[in-house]
């Protein structure tokens, strides 16, 4: 005799996301998730292979949202303005959900991590902006430099690593400004004169 479903994958993932944010990764237990969606723990395994897959699905959700957030922030078309807007949106996103953000680039088991494609998609907007700022040869390296800085800053901030005083907001603004300039600069050691062969 068929039994009607008492929950759904989507409900499980969103419940899991809330629990993750409230209790941290260790607090994200199958029992708590089951409780939140109104079933017993074994029932979750009808929708999800194991706890790792649940984490994976949650992080996919987060990565997807991050991509959308960055796309929305880069609105002006002016690379430098867009880069700054994305940096601020990126940080705000991380502050809104520090636990989930902290896991986005964490050292997790391979199959827990978000799909590489989704993470790549999130960095596309950044790549577009740096492409308009740096010369073409260095667009990818420039994007990586900017994203690395932003991610590192936010991670350290959220981990409470900035305890030498000073204004953290100003330090972020300082970094964003200097990074944009640094990445746009065409002065590099190896002789940079751009040779067009046309």
Partner DNA sequence: ACCTGAACACCGTTCAAGT
What CA–CA distance (Å, rounded) separates 67 from 117? 11
**Is 140 near a second copy (CB under 8 A)?**
yes
Compute, in degrees rounded to 10, the torsion defined by CA atoms 162, 164, 166, 172. -30
Contacts of 33 (CB under 8 A, 6+ apart): 12, 15, 16, 19, 44, 54
**Is 29 near DNA (CB under 7 A)?**
yes
**Is 151 near a second copy (CB under 8 A)?**
yes
**Is 3 near DNA (CB under 7 A)?**
yes
Q: Which of residues 42-81 bind DNA (CB under 7 A)?
A: 42-43, 45-46, 50-52
**Helices assigned H by DSSP within 74-112:** 79-96, 98-104
Stretch of residues binding DNA (CB under 7 A), selected from 25-33, 56-64, 107-115, 184-192: 25-33
Choose between 37 and 94: whose C-beta lies nearer to a second copy: 94
Task: Pick left, alpha or beta for residue 180 (phi over 0 → left; psi -120 to 50 → alpha; otherwise beta).
Answer: alpha
Q: Least Å distance between CB 172 and DNA?
A: 35
Of 129, 64, 145, residue with least CA distance to 100: 64
Choose between 30 and 59: whose C-beta lies nearer to DNA: 30
Helix (H) or strand (E) segment spanning residue 105: none
What CA–CA distance (Å, rounded) separates 82 from 127? 11
Q: Least Å distance between CB 45 and a second copy?
A: 20
What CA–CA distance (Å, rounded) separates 114 from 195? 40
- Which of 5, 38, 77, 152 binds a second copy (CB under 8 A)? It is 152
**Is 99 near a second copy (CB under 8 A)?**
yes
Q: What are phi and psi of 77, to 5 degrees?
A: 90, -15
Residues engaged in binding DNA (CB under 7 A): 1-7, 28-32, 39-43, 45-46, 50-52
Residues engaged in binding a second copy (CB under 8 A): 24, 98-99, 102, 105-109, 113, 116, 119-120, 123, 127, 138, 140-142, 144-145, 147-153, 155-156, 158-166, 170-171, 174-175, 177-179, 181-183, 185, 187-189
């Amino acid at each position: 005799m068929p039994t009607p479903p008492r929950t759904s994958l989507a409900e499980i993932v969103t419940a899991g996301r809330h629990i993750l944010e409230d209790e941290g990764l260790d607090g994200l237990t199958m029992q708590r998730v089951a409780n939140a969606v109104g079933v017993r723990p074994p029932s979750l395994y009808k929708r999800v292979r194991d706890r790792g897959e649940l984490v994976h699905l949650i992080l996919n959700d987060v990565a997807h949202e991050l991509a959308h957030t960055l796309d929305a922030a880069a609105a002006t078309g002016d690379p430098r303005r867009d880069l700054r807007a994305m940096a601020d949106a990126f940080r705000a996103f991380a502050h809104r959900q520090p636990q989930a953000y902290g896991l986005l680039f964490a050292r997790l088991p391979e199959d827990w991590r978000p799909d590489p494609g989704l993470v790549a998609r999130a960095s596309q907007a950044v790549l577009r902006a740096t492409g308009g700022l740096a010369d073409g040869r260095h667009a990818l390296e420039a994007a990586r430099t900017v994203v690395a800085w932003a991610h590192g800053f936010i991670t350290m901030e959220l981990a409470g690593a900035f305890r030498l005083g000073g204004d953290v907001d100003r330090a972020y603004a300082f970094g964003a400004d200097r990074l944009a300039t640094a990445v746009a600069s065409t002065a590099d050691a190896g002789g940079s004169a751009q040779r067009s062969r046309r």
